[in-house]
Amino acid sequence: MCTQTNLATTKTKSKGSHAGTRNSMLFLVGLFGVLAATMLTSEYLPKLLSPTTYIRSWYSYSVQRFDNTWPTYVTDYGLTFHMCIGIYRLLKCERSELRDFSASLLLFYAISVTVGGISHQNFTSVEKMNTLAFRLMWSVVVGTVTGAGGFLGSIGSAFARMARGSLDKRYNVVVVPSWWWAVWSVFLTSLVFGGFLSMERPAADIFLAGVTQTAPTCYMVVCAFSNNWKGDQNAIWRHLIILVIGAFLNAPLLPLYGVLVNLGLELGTVNTILHCWLAAAWGMQAIALRGLSYHIVVEGKAAKIA
Asked whether 99 and 155 are in contact (CB, 8 A), the reply is no
Average pLDDT of the chain?
A: 89
Higher-pLDDT residue of 64, 269: 269
Burial class (CB in 10 A: 0-12, 13-18, 19+), 304: exposed
Q: Whole-angstrom Cα distance, residue 243 to residue 245?
A: 5
Beta bridge partners of 231: 296
User: 150-195, pLDDT tens digit by residue?
Assistant: 999 999 999 999 999 899 999 999 999 989 999 999 999 999 999 9
What pLDDT does 12 receive?
Answer: 46
Q: At residue 305, does pLDDT exceed 80?
A: no
3-class secondary structure per residue, 6-17: HHHHHHHHHHHH
CB 67 within 8 A of CB 121: no
Does 28 have pLDDT greater than 60?
Answer: yes
Cβ contact 249:280 at 8 Å? yes
Closest to 148 in 3D by CA, of 111, 120, 118, 114: 111
263-276 confidence digits (pLDDT tens)? 999 999 999 999 99
**Based on the number of CB atoms within 10 Å of its own CB, is 262 exposed (0-12), middle (13-18) or buried (19 or more)?**
exposed
Rounded-to-integer distance, Cα 110 and Cα 78, Å: 10
pLDDT at 245: 98
CA distance 27 to 19: 12
Q: Mention every residue, 6+ apart, whose C-beta is less than 8 A from residue 104.
A: 151, 154
Name residue 160's amino acid: A
Burial per residue of 191-208, b for 16 or more beta-carbon CB atoms within 10 angstroms, e otherwise: bbbeebbbbbbbbbbbbb
Record: fold of 67-302 = Rhopdopsin 7-helix transmembrane proteins (1.20.1070)
> Where do the structural domains in the chain lie, given as residue ranges?
67-302
pLDDT given for residue 8 in this prediction: 45
pLDDT for 99: 97
pLDDT for 48 beyond 90: no
Confidence of residue 23 (pLDDT cuts 50, 70, 90): low
Place 298 in a pLDDT band, splitting at 50, 70 and 90. Answer: confident
The DSSP secondary-structure symbol of 95 reads: P
